[in-house]
Amino acid sequence: MLVIGAGGGVGTFAVQLAKAFGAHVTGVCRTSKTDLVRSIGADDVIDHTREDFTDQVGHYDLILDTTGTHTPGPAATRPHTPRNARHGRRRRGRALAARH
């Protein structure tokens, strides 16, 4: 799962909830929030001020954009594989956006 805005109020909740359900979580946030996002359980953290995370969006079963600005189209999430099935993931990836 990719959480865009993982350092914010909704993002920190999403990271913790996803981890509680056993998901592998990658959080996207700014430099000042990377330690926070790691400390709440994110497996990987991408600093969007240093790295273009949009190049990597094809590697996630679920993308949650809490900022409402970066959600890619349906082609950005990967299809079902046997490895994904072991982790209880859906057959097709999903992208969700929180709009303000």
Q: How many domains does the chain have?
A: 1
- Give dist(CA 60, CA 43) in Å, integer: 13
CATH label of the domain that carries residue 77: 3.40.50.720
Taking only the tens place, the pLDDT of each residue in 6-42 is 999 999 999 999 999 999 999 999 999 999 999 999 9
Domain that holds residue 89: 2-97
Question: In the beta sheet, which residues pair with residue 64?
Answer: 3, 96
Percentages (nearest 5) of helix, strand, coil residues in the chain: 35, 25, 40
The predicted pLDDT at position 52 comes to 85
φ/ψ region of 5 (left if φ > 0, alpha if ψ in -120 to 50, else beta) reads left
- How far CA 84 is from CA of 52, 67, 79, in Å, comes to 25, 26, 9
How far is the C-alpha of 9 from the C-alpha of 27, rounded, in Å?
13
pLDDT in tens, 67-76: 877 655 544 4
For residues 3 and 9, give the distance between their C-alpha atoms in angstroms, rounded to a whole number.
12
Cα separation, 100 vs 97, whole angstroms:
10
